[in-house]
């Protein structure tokens, strides 16, 4: 199991999938001063019901998808919970978002620094299909987000698309949350 795992000062470059993946219910984990460059998928991908973990001072660059992502799938039976990501730095993506939370509970990002992403700098959502609903998410910017586009999506996309076969990430004016 990945319980109580500590990974420090590790660099992953050119991974064929995610640079660093935390999954299968791993708990009480710590990723500290890790970096990922030029992966073909997410730089750091946390999924599979992972819980009670921390990611501290991570750096990703040139990732093929999201820089740092927490994703909960219904098939896992439980969402990712109580994950804290402190001072992540995302230095560009070739496809994807800077940081994201797609389903989960009690997910916190602090002091983020996101630059040059292909899609949203910060993305929060629940995309329907296999993803779970979004629970409590806290994002404390701390430092400026300098992505080309900063889009913070607070509406729950799965609720907008329960009866549609295609997910459209742009809700109509009547579907947007009240300010």
Residue 124's pLDDT is what? Answer: 81
This prediction's pTM: 0.77
Whether residue 45 is predicted with pLDDT greater than 90 in this model: the reply is: yes
Query: Each residue of 85-121: pLDDT tens digit?
Result: 999 999 999 989 999 988 888 888 888 889 998 888 8
Query: How many alpha carbons lie under 13 Å from residue 147 in its C-beta half-sphere?
Result: 28
Residue 146's pLDDT is what? Answer: 41
CA–CA gap between residue 171 and residue 157 (Å, rounded): 8
- Edge to edge, what strands does the sheet with 20-22 contain? 20-22, 44-46, 68-71, 99-102, 122-125
Query: Each residue of 54-71: pLDDT tens digit?
Result: 999 999 999 999 999 999
Angular region, 42: left φ>0, alpha ψ -120 to 50, beta rest: beta
């Amino acid at each position: 199991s990945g319980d109580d795992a500590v990974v420090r000062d590790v660099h992953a470059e050119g991974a064929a999938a995610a640079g660093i993946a935390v999954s299968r219910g791993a708990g009480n984990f710590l990723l500290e001063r890790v970096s990922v460059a030029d992966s073909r998928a997410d730089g750091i991908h946390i999924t599979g019901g992972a819980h009670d973990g921390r990611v501290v001072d991570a750096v990703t660059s040139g990732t093929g998808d999201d820089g740092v992502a927490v994703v909960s799938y219904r098939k896992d039976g439980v969402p990712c919970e109580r994950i804290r990501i402190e001072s992540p730095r995302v230095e560009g993506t070739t496809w994807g978002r800077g940081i994201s939370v797609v389903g989960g509970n009690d997910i916190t990002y602090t002091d983020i620094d996101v630059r040059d992403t292909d899609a949203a700098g910060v993305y929060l959502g629940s995309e329907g299909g296999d993803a779970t609903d979004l629970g409590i998410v806290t994002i404390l910017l701390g430092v400026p987000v300098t992505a080309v586009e900063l889009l913070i999506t607070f509406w729950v996309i799965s609720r907008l698309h329960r009866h549609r076969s295609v997910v459209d990430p742009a809700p109509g004016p009547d579907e947007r949350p009240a300010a």
